[in-house]
Structure 1
Amino acid sequence: MQDDDFSLFTQEMRGVKRISVDQADTGKPKADRQQMNLRRQNASVKVESIRVDGLSDQFVIDVGAEDELSWARDGVQEGQLRKLKAGQISFEGSLDLHGMNIEKARELLWDFLAEATRLEVRCVRVTHGKAARTDGRKPLLKSHVNTWLRQHPQVLGFTSCLPRHGGTGSLYVMLRRTMLEGRDDD
């Protein structure tokens, strides 16, 4: 009887070729690791090269060379702004934008504020200068910085510095701290 089973089996298998691969075909093509790594690299490079900073020049608030600047986002306590103006909140970083063109200043300011935010810095100083222009118009960089800081999501408020820190040519900028809850209530 066993011979009958074997002969039946051999008869049925006539013309069938033996499979040389001992792995099942799942139907999905095997991922090309090199191509996947290249795609990952390209995706990360593209993300880094796209820059949307949100600092607009469509409406710039003109300010005078000697104008004292002061602004606070809704919800910032008056006492905090008074402390900032009095220099009682020490700044932990400083950026000098003197002599830069508008685009370079915007890029540096954005990067500086991003780094300060990443490091959980509470207050920084930004020096924009006064640049009294020969044509009698308002200082360009000071006006732009005043406008940009109001647009930046991490800026809680700013005020002109004390004379020893640059006076009306610099600003103390108070930043939001995101990682440690309750620290903005100092």
Structure 2
Amino acid sequence: MQDDDFSLFRSAVCGVKPIAHDRADTGKPRSNKAQIATRRANASISNDEIRIDGLSDQFIIDVAAEDQLYWVHDGVQEGQMRKLKAGQIPFEGSLDLHGLSVEKARELLWDFLAEACKLEIRCVRVTHGKAARTDGRKPLIKSHVNTWLRQHPQVLGFTSCLPRHGGTGAIYLLLKRTMLEGRDE
């Protein structure tokens, strides 16, 4: 009986070639930290072209240095914003706009958000600062960032950070994601 089993097995595997490697394909690509770093660096390179980003400076909402910022797009769950405000959604990227001109801050913010959306990042932190201007008016970058983010199509909401992450000088920002195939969140 054993000879019959062996002969049946040999005839069943006749012409089969052995596999050259013993690794399984899990289907999930590993994150390439060097590639991500290169993309981030390339996103901040200026090409001196006039760009139309859809952000208006026509009407800027002036905010004071210690004002808490909070805005939410229609349809965003209240629970998500509570978690964001409590710092319970970890931020995966951070941008510091301290000391920049309004135009440079605008350009860097637009590029940063584009890259974050491309990488399917859910939450980022933007540090806008809160220094009062020498002419006694409200903080310039903070006021512009507050206005611009309300206009950005990928922004779901934002809120001032916890003190350990910058307090009223920074915001947590919740972004839309398209949910890449294979992601189980």
- Say yes or no: TM over 0.5: yes
C-alpha displacement of 1:137: 0.9
Q: Distance in 1 between matches of 2:90 and 2:163?
A: 15
Instruction: Report how many aligned residue pairs link the two structures.
Output: 136
Question: What pairs up with 1:69-84 in 2 under 5 angstroms?
Answer: 69-84=69-84
Unmatched segments (≥5 aa) in structure 2: 1-48
Aligned twin of 1:105: 105
Q: Distance in 2 between matches of 1:50 and 1:102?
A: 15
- SS in structure 2 of the partner of residue 61 of structure 1: coil
Aligned twin of 1:161: 161
Letter paired with 1:127: T
1:52 and 2:35 aligned: no
Aligned twin of 1:123: 123
Letter paired with 2:118: R
C-alpha displacement of 1:50: 6.0
Q: Distance in 1 between matches of 2:172 and 2:85?
A: 7
Q: Distance in 1 between matches of 2:128 and 2:142?
A: 5
| Superposition TM-score, scaled by structure 1 size | 0.70
- SS in structure 2 of the partner of residue 172 of structure 1: strand
Aligned twin of 1:93: 93
- SS in structure 2 of the partner of residue 71 of structure 1: strand
- SS in structure 2 of the partner of residue 88 of structure 1: coil
Q: Distance in 2 between matches of 1:91 and 1:81?
A: 14
Question: What pairs up with 1:132-171 in 2 under 5 angstroms?
Answer: 132-171=132-171
| Bigger mean CA deviation after superposition, 94-103 or 125-134 | 125-134
C-alpha displacement of 1:133: 1.9
After superposition, what is the alpha-carbon deviation per residue over 1:34-91, rounded to whole angstroms, capped at 9, x for unaligned? xxxxxxxxxxxxxxx5632111100100000000000000000111111000000000
C-alpha displacement of 1:135: 2.2
Letter paired with 2:73: R
Aligned twin of 1:177: 177
- SS in structure 1 of the partner of residue 138 of structure 2: coil
C-alpha displacement of 1:94: 0.1
- SS in structure 2 of the partner of residue 91 of structure 1: coil
RMSD over aligned CA atoms reads: 1.7
| Structure label with greater radius of gyration | 1
C-alpha displacement of 1:179: 3.6
Q: Distance in 1 between matches of 2:132 and 2:144?
A: 14
Letter paired with 1:57: D
Q: Distance in 1 between matches of 2:84 and 2:61?
A: 22
